[in-house]
Amino acid sequence: MNQRIVFIVNDAQRFQGAGTTRAMIFEAYELGHDVFVSDVNSFMLSNENQVHLSCLHFKANLSTAEREQLLLLRNDSIIIRTSPGSDIDNAPAHRLALEALRALEHDGFHIVNKPSGLMQASSKLYTSMLEGDWVPKGVVCRSFDEVQEFCHQHSGRVVVKPLLGSKGADVFKVSGPADPNLRSIVETLCKRGYVIAQEYIEEAADGDVRVLMLNGEILSIDGQAVGIRRRPQGNEWRSNIALGGKASLEHLDELTIHLAEKCGAHLLERGICFTGLDIVGDKIIEANVFSPGGLHDLDRFASGRFTREVVRALALQKSKKEV
């Protein structure tokens, strides 16, 4: 059944429609749905728990989309594709949007991912604080001394990055507590907020694997769980596609499947039904829950089937493991 699908992004007016979000918007339109694109700056709330949005009504091309006022209804599908980590200066708008959508969630609206779950997993803190040996050892702090002490405790290289961030921005690898750049890196990052120091996983030299989970299940081809291997290029040690990392199809081994299914079940309990896990060796480095990317990369290796099935599943609240 065709319905209204509303995508929430950081800034609809400046949205360039790149990557997975663009692919999802186009697929929703091609499936015959009435597609709208709005953003965290376009909410209008009433004391009757109604949410109005200023939206772009998508009809084949965002650049020619007309702006309309929309009252969100219970039979709408609302898909959150924001990236708070890349829009830190607009943090109050992101918080308001999540609060408003969480109220609608409690009233029975269909929202992906659930705002209540997103509020729990709104930064890298969520992944780093998961219990067990399936995440790297790390510390979250706002102190050079604490980071240096962590480096002393964990011989070898350490990764230092901001608590809020995306696409590999401001992520540094240091050689240890005596690294001549450690103080300047930590002090610069701490001026903007908390930082995470994590043990460096040696397998990262061969990149990481992005595993996309839908309703707790790994996307698969012909019964084989797959992901995207992202390898760093040249002198760049980070494997993010935004930083030039090269993507290739990866058939997942038993260890990676075990890690992904374990974390996927944990997230699904909190209403996170569509997520992208970044896995290196036997560790989950990060859980991308707001706007996980990689679908358009998978489509290149699977004749364009994944995005359509994911959009269909999210809109109809139905799991589609096999595509």
Please provide the average confidence, as pLDDT, over all residues in the chain: 89
Q: What are the structure tokens assigned to 286, written together?
A: 């990060």
Across the range 154-182, mean pLDDT stands at 88
Q: CA–CA distance from 118 to each of 99, 101, 102, 138 (Å)?
A: 10, 11, 9, 22
More confident residue, 295 or 235: 295
Across the range 139-166, mean pLDDT stands at 91
Q: Is the pLDDT of residue 323 over 50?
A: no
Q: Is the pLDDT of residue 22 over 60?
A: yes
Predicted pLDDT at 64: 79
Per CATH, is 137-200 categorized as 2.30.38.10?
A: no
Per residue in 110-123, pLDDT (tens digit) is: 999 999 999 887 66
| Look-up of token digits 């002090």 | 187
Predicted pLDDT at 9: 96
CATH (one of 3.40.50.720, 2.60.40.10, 3.40.50.20, 3.90.420.10) for 4-116? 3.40.50.20
**What gap in Å lies between CA 271 and CA 284, rounded to an integer?**
19
Classify domain 204-316 by CATH number: 3.30.470.20
H helices within 49-124, ranges in order?
A: 91-106, 115-120
DSSP 121-166: TSSTHHHHT--STTS--EEEES-HHHHHHHHHHS-S-EEEEESS--
More confident residue, 225 or 85: 225
* 3-state SS, residue 225: strand
All CATH 3.30.470.20 domain ranges of the chain, comma separated, are 204-316
All CATH 3.30.1490.20 domain ranges of the chain, comma separated, are 137-200
Residue 318's CB: how many other CB atoms inside 10 A? Answer: 11
Q: What percent of the chain has pLDDT over 90?
A: 68
Across the range 16-45, mean pLDDT stands at 91
Q: Is the pLDDT of residue 48 over 90?
A: no
Of 14-23, 211-220, 274-283, 302-311, the least confident:
14-23
What sign results for the dihedral spanned by CA atoms 137, 142, 144, 145?
negative
- The length of the chain is 323
**Burial grade of 159 (CB within 10 A; 0-12, 13-18, 19 or more):** buried
Predicted pLDDT at 1: 60
At CA 302, angle to CA 257 and CA 22, rounded to 5? 95
Per residue in 265-321, pLDDT (tens digit) is: 989 999 999 999 999 999 999 899 999 999 988 998 887 689 999 999 998 753 333
Which DSSP helix (H) or strand (E) runs through 230? strand 224-231
Predicted pLDDT at 165: 77
pTM: 0.90
Across the range 205-219, mean pLDDT stands at 94
For residue 135, give the nearest of 217, 195, 201 by alpha carbon: 201
Q: What percent of the chain has pLDDT over 70?
A: 94
**What gap in Å lies between CA 120 and CA 169, rounded to an integer?**
22
Whether residue 192 contacts residue 162, with contact meaning beta carbons closer than 8 Å, is answered with: yes
Across the range 161-176, mean pLDDT stands at 86
